[in-house]
Amino acid sequence: MKISTIKELLDAKTICCEELLDKNVYSACGSDMMSDVLAYVKDQAVLLTGLVNSQVIRTADMMDMNCIVFVRSKMPTAEMVELAKESNIVILATDKRMYEACGLLYSNGLHGNRVKNV
């Protein structure tokens, strides 16, 4: 799914890297716990989160993510925006809650990675 489609579906505002909206993402992860993101995210993914700190950008960069969507009207700091620009990570912000945002993306074909049973 193109990031521009995610922006449309979530009625989101582009915070940075608008020139990269044509990039594709292949899965999604909704979490405020970066340890879960590190453990379960594979492939080119979009991260949906309400956590606003620079660790979110660093985690997304480590996991080769193309896009972060801040939910619940959360807005990144200027430092976070600069880190995202340096890493070519699109930042979007939506008023939607995590549950609704994830549901909209899932119902429109963007699925998460399968988690292996332990």
Instruction: Kindly report the pTM of this predicted structure.
Output: 0.91
User: Minimal CA–CA distance to 85: which of 7, 36, 14?
Assistant: 14
| Whole-number Å distance between alpha carbons of 80 and 39 | 22
Model pLDDT for residues 62-95, shown as the tens digit of each residue: 998 999 999 999 999 999 999 999 999 999 999 9
Q: Judge whether residue 117 has pLDDT over 50.
A: no
Tell me if 112 is assigned to some domain. no
Dump the DSSP string for 86-100: HHT-EEEE-SS-HHH
Domain containing 18: what range? 3-107
Please give the share of the chain, as a percent, with pLDDT higher than 90: 75
Into how many domains does the chain fold?
Answer: 1
The answer as to whether 70 is a domain residue is yes
Residue with tokens 């700091």: 77
Identify the helix (H) or strand (E) that includes residue 38: helix 34-40
CATH number of the domain encompassing residue 47: 3.40.1390.20
